[in-house]
Amino acid sequence: METYSEECIMTFLKNQGQLFDEPVAETYEEAEEFLEDCMAVVAKNLKEVRAYLDESGMDVDGMSDQELLEASEVFALEDGSFLIVEG
């Protein structure tokens, strides 16, 4: 089970609207629980994001790095890593 940093949880809580029409979490604790339940993944860089999405069945071959960054499942973190949440 992945342990999520405070930055991961707060980023998801603040930006969950990019993936969901309605909030799935209203508190820090709810956001942390949601990330655990859906087994969100933290990727160190875009190469890992691309590999994860490819393994998950998404056709990423023709996608640019910018298109990967704009994917609703991908949340950029301040430290340069990425949180991937599958809705």
5-24 pLDDT, tens digit each: 999 999 999 999 999 999 99
d(CA 30, CA 24): 8
Confidence of residue 1 (pLDDT cuts 50, 70, 90): low
> What is the β-pairing status of strands 74-76 and 41-43?
unpaired
Q: Is residue 74 part of a domain?
A: yes
H or E element at residue 42: strand 41-43
> Token pair of 65, please?
């790095």
Q: Considering the domain boundaries, does residue 58 fall inside one?
A: yes
Which of 44, 42, 73 minimizes the C-alpha distance to 60? 73
Q: What is the SS3 assignment for 75?
A: strand
The Cα angle at residue 43 between residues 31 and 76, in degrees rounded to 5: 60
- Within-domain flag for 73: yes
In a domain, 57, yes or no: yes
In terms of residue numbers, what domain contains 40?
A: 6-84
Position 40 in a domain:
yes
Q: What does the pLDDT look like over 51-62, one tens digit per residue?
A: 999 999 999 999
Is residue 1, in this structure, part of any structural domain at all? no
Whether this prediction's pTM lies above 0.85 is answered by yes
Number of domains in the chain: 1
